[in-house]
A = this chain, B = another copy of it.
Amino acid sequence: MDNEELVGFARRVGLFWPAAEIYGGAAGLYDYGHLGATIKRRWEDLWIAYFIEQNENYFLIDGSNMLPEKPLVASGHASRFNDILVSCKKCKTFYRADVLLGELGIKINEGADEKEIEKAIKEHGVRCPKDKGELGEPKAFNMMIDVSLGPEKKEKGYLRPETAQSVYLNFDREFQLLRKRLPLGLAIIGRAYRNEISPRQGLYRMRELIQAELQIFFDPEKWDLKPKERKPMNVVTYKTGKQTKMTPAELVKDGYPEFYVRHMEIIHHFYTGIIGVPEERFRFFEKGGADKAFYNKVHMDIEIDVRSWNGFREVGGLHYRGDYDLTSHSKGANKDLSVSVDGKRFMPNVLELSFGVDRNIWMLIDVFYKKDGERDVLGIPGFLSQYDAAVFPLQKDDALEKKASELYDSLAKEFRIAYDTSGSIGKRYARMDEIGTPYCITIDFDTVDSKSKDHGKVTVRKRDDRSQVRVSFDELRKMIAGSRAIHGIGMI
């Protein structure tokens, strides 16, 4: 489905739409409807179960979204978290220079400065796309959103530009509390804020985004973590610039650290093994040279091929950040954040697993939505869907409704169950298909007829292939439990 169709579908089934829509919306701000908010919380639960809870020294923490000025000066965000803007001298429209040049097919590095941009604009004779006006001088524009607190608004601060900073600020206390062991993983799921100038890209470039980030602090001389499998993964390395299938062993041979390659495997299994993204729609894309943040030793984007954007789009990243962050805050806070483990004092390195939650929700819709004849089907895995199953009485009838309601009460103790009595069975199926409910359970006259050979059995109709089976209550319970369970979580 294309971008417009996805946005329309998202609105129609209760996934997401622009914030403050009744006031005409707000650029770069989105709200999640009842379906989106629930799928989002399920995705977060999955992320916590897979990335955090499988390791006994990894933990979820939470941090305030507003931060004082100092830490964001120390982290470099106050001086370097910039976009280069150009504006049209005639119509005064502002553009993000890299976006404008990119749309014209002019290649520019992600870290390009004002001078490089100016050079590119002159070389290619770029003018305003709206009225062909001349473009002004490119200027660095800090993307952080500032806040002023206190009675005279003199206490300056920022909305955090990434959740990672809240983790670095808490590393020292948590390291002390958690008995000074490395590797230590600290994760946050929360919001980050960026004054994006061209935020009109659905959930892909937002002014307020949700991140799920895990920072692993470790001793680079001691993290003895090796890749386990030989499964090849799609990778675009910076060196070749081409997408190829590479095994973990080949990546290690090419010089990527073993702990890094091991985490590529873990992430690859999360998407292809657990969530079920087709192998060919998943890849790592390495950033290097000026496209890579200077503090990253290795930087790969996690990309999913989405039809709605005509190709691969970033949904996260795996960043070997070295010791830049703790070193910066040691200086900024004037507090030594190095650690002493086994008689050695050193600054821990950081491996960051970063995921854009909104982009992951978008990706899920793109990958798992299918049109099947007239049917809209959201074929997401059962453990991510809003309901595990739906219960319907076949038609208005006291005996059927009584039985259906009993079954609902019994199942609802263990599972998340929808109950629907309104409209034809076909309509009720359609409503469940489009929100991704894996099973629809119908109570019919045979279910309640003690003389029928199908007495006590119900019809289960499956979302994905519309096949129907007749099962007992016990079998039903097993089916639902199986669809709800997360498979393969321990297999990595």
B-binding residues in A (CB < 8 A): 11-14, 17, 19-23, 26-34, 36-38, 40-41, 48, 53, 56, 59-68, 70-71, 85, 87, 94, 141, 145-153, 155, 157, 159, 166, 169-170, 172-174, 177-179, 186, 191, 193, 195, 197, 207-208, 329, 332-333, 335, 337, 413, 416, 418-419, 422, 490
Contacts and interface: CB of A to CB of B under 8 A. Distances in A.
Nearest to A149: B195
Contacts of A19: 63-64, 67, 166, 169
Contacts of A422: 179
A150 B31 contact: no
Nearest to A141: B151
A33 B61 contact: yes
A21 B173 contact: yes
Contacts of A169: 19-23, 31
Contact residues of A: prevailing secondary structure: mixed
How many of these chains are in the complex?
2
A64 B159 contact: no
A282 to B, nearest CB: 27
B33 A177 contact: yes
Contacts of A170: 21, 31, 33
A90 B288 CA distance: 58
Given A21-B173, A64-B208, A147-B147, A157 B34 contact: no
Contacts of A40: 62
A266 to B, nearest CB: 18
A372 to B, nearest CB: 22
Contacts of A11: 173
A40 B38 CA distance: 18
A103 to B, nearest CB: 17
B174 A14 contact: yes
A275 to B, nearest CB: 20
A210 to B, nearest CB: 9
A22 B329 contact: yes
A19 B22 CA distance: 35
Contacts of A70: 20, 23
The residue among A13, A30, A68 with the most chain B CB atoms within 10 A of its own CB is A68
Contacts of A153: 195
Contacts of A13: 177
A117 to B, nearest CB: 15
Contact of A159 (B27, B53, B147, B337): B147
Nearest to A95: B151
A253 B177 CA distance: 54
Contact of A60 (B37, B53, B66): B37
25 contacts: A12-B177, A14-B178, A17-B173, A19-B67, A21-B169, A22-B333, A22-B337, A23-B68, A23-B70, A26-B66, A26-B68, A29-B64, A29-B67, A30-B64, A34-B174, A34-B177, A37-B61, A40-B62, A41-B48, A41-B60, A56-B418, A94-B151, A145-B149, A147-B147, A149-B195
Which residue, A23, A56, A60, A329, has most C-beta atoms of chain B within 10 A?
A: A23
A170 B18 CA distance: 10
Closest 10 CB pairs between A and B? Answer: A34-B59, A94-B151, A32-B62, A29-B64, A22-B333, A19-B64, A37-B62, A31-B63, A26-B68, A37-B60
A98 B449 CA distance: 70
A455 to B, nearest CB: 28
A66 B207 contact: yes
Nearest to A29: B64
Contacts of A27: 149, 155
A175 to B, nearest CB: 11
Contact of A34 (B150, B178, B335): B178
Contact of A150 (B23, B66, B152, B197): B197
Nearest to A94: B151
A149 B207 contact: yes
A53 B150 CA distance: 40
Contacts of A65: 65, 191, 208
A213 B287 CA distance: 42
A479 B228 CA distance: 36
A63 B32 contact: yes
Contacts of A173: 11, 17, 21, 33
B87 A62 contact: no
